[in-house]
Amino acid sequence: MNTKEIKAYGTESAEADLKQLQINRRVVLENDVEIDILYCGVCHSDLHFARNDWGMTQYPVVPGHEIVGKVAQIGEGVSKYKVGDIVAVGCLVDSCRTCQNCKDDLEQYCPEWVGTYGGYDKHLETNTHGGYSETIVVDESFVLKVPENLDLAGIAPVLCAGITTWSPLRHWNVGKDSKVAVVGLGGLGHMAIKLAVALGAHVTLFSRSTNKIEDAKALGAHDVIISTDQSQMEHVIGKFDVIIDTVPYEHDLNPYIGTLTTNGTLVIVGYLGPIDPMLVTVPMIMGRKSVAGSLIGGIAETQELLDFCGKHNITSDIEVIKIQDINTAYERMLKSDVKYRFVIDMKSLKDN
Ligand SMILES: NC(=O)c1ccc[n+]([C@@H]2O[C@H](COP(=O)([O-])OP(=O)(O)OC[C@H]3O[C@@H](n4cnc5c(N)ncnc54)[C@H](OP(=O)(O)O)[C@@H]3O)[C@@H](O)[C@H]2O)c1
Ligand SMILES: [Zn+2]
Ligand SMILES: [Zn+2]
């Protein structure tokens, strides 16, 4: 297969910093779109994956799945896009397209879904590489249209932080009578607040940090509860229809379950792993409460979200960085020191 060598940023081991690497992209096939990457958001999953937190990483890794760019070239069979279009790619670049989940526009639950990085690229027979790179080549079915009115750097985080919170908000029918709570004010959390507010819900933030109260209100949250304050937690017992929990690390879910209404659902999107301390089932049984999980979103649903953001003028609150600052950005993200998403200006990769 014909390939093109390009510059990227990634790592060859869990312990090493990210640095410049050379990778190969396939030359466009019939249904492919080649995209010059303009911006790429920095997700906490990029950090988990680069550092092998989930024990499944194969190296080298080039992270990045919040990609916005310009179409540079198209294959002969491409009909949705033309050279020069502004487009986006999120967390998925392929799936089997025939299973029930694929037929139901739930490609993220296809057993053969291909992640934008760390997936299996059937064309190159290697791992896929993400958006911390000059270009990406993606089948047009997994490329998204970007609304023309939105800031291109600010829209990038919608491709993961946005869709990961939008999908459960939609699945659990959040609307104007809903009471929603969001746990953790980071990349996902701040998008969850904006989107739930735009859907008309009453929105509360659970945060560990008293210094995020003003920001949460500015993002549209109606209330903020400091999760380490027992009396504040007691004040919201039985209150929320849906809780979106974005915390990336092990934490006690039991105090949050108490704050659900009868029939309420706590949706975990942040932490991947066993729950410790264990769940106490009594409050779940006594109130028909659920604990659920949710993974990103399908292609149609991601396009629905991008269009919704265009209509409601929603973008992410971002700090634009150069690719050379990515290792510092990871350390800052671990300290929750980002308001509220880093986005890499990929022009900076040309400076290396
Ligand atoms: N399910 C999916 O499809 C999906 C998709 C994308 C990302 N993710 C995962 O979602 C998680 C969040 O990603 P993100 O990019 O939003 O991360 P982030 O920007 O780092 O935000 C996480 C927030 O969680 C809170 N937090 C952090 N450490 C905590 C701890 N030890 N205990 C309690 N709270 C803590 C902080 O908020 P406060 O300071 O306000 O408490 C922090 O701002 C990551 O694990 C990521 O891998 C999942
Ligand atoms: Zn992500
Ligand atoms: Zn499938």
- Ligand 1 centroid to 335 CA: how many Å? 11
Is pLDDT above 90 for 209? Answer: no
Statement to judge: residues 26 and 72 lie in one domain = yes
Q: Are 104 and 201 found together in one domain? A: no
Query: Which listed ligand is nearest to 159 at the C-alpha?
Result: 2
Mean per-residue pLDDT, 127-138: 98
| Pair (178, 109) in one structural domain | no
**Cα(107)–Cα(100) distance, rounded to whole angstroms?**
9
Condensed to tens digits (0 to 9), the pLDDT of residues 70-120 reads: 999 999 999 999 999 999 999 999 999 999 999 999 999 999 999 999 999
Tally of domains in the chain: 2
CA distance linking residue 300 with residue 31, whole number of Å: 18
Question: Does position 221 have pLDDT exceeding 90, yes or no?
Answer: yes
Tell me the residue type at 11.
Answer: T
Ligand 1 pocket test, pick from 40, 43, 66, 331 with the greatest ligand atom count within 8 Å of Cβ, gives 43
Please name which ligand lies nearest the alpha carbon of 224. 1
* Domain range for 214: 161-293
Residue 165 lies in a domain: yes
CATH of the domain at 206: 3.40.50.720
Are 155 and 170 contained in the same domain?
A: no
**pLDDT tier, 66 (very low <50, low <70, confident <90, very high otherwise):** very high
Residues 86 and 10 in one domain: yes
8 plus 150 within the same structural domain: yes
Q: 251: Cβ below 6 Å to ligand 1?
A: yes
Going from the Cα of 12 to the center of ligand 2, the distance in angstroms, rounded, reads: 20
**Whether the predicted pLDDT of 352 surpasses 80:** no
CA proximity to 264, closest of 247, 235, 278, 244: 244
Mean pLDDT of 323-350: 97
Which tokens is 56 given?
Answer: 């499944």
Ligand 2 center to 229 CA (angstroms): 30
Report how far ligand 3's centroid is from the alpha carbon of 109 (Å). Answer: 7
Rounded to whole angstroms, how far apart are CA atoms 306 and 162? 9
313: how many CB neighbours lie within 10 A of its CB? 11
Residue nearest to atom 2 of ligand 1 (CA): 295
Q: Which atom of ligand 1 is nearest to the CA of 208?
A: 41
pTM, rounded to two decimals: 0.98
CATH number at residue 326: 3.90.180.10
- Co-location of 270 and 239 in the same domain: yes
The pLDDT of residue 235 is 97
Q: Is the same domain home to 64 and 82?
A: yes
Q: Tell the residue nearest (CA) to atom 18 of ligand 1.
A: 186
- 27 and 154 in a common domain: yes
pLDDT digits (tens, 9 = 90+) for 234-278: 999 999 999 999 999 999 999 999 999 999 999 999 999 999 999
Comparing CA positions, the residue from 124, 2, 1 lying closest to residue 62 is: 124
Residue 168 lies in a domain: yes
Considering the domain boundaries, does residue 272 fall inside one?
yes
Give the pLDDT of residue 86.
98
115 lines ligand 1 (CB under 6 A): no
Same domain, 337 and 246: no
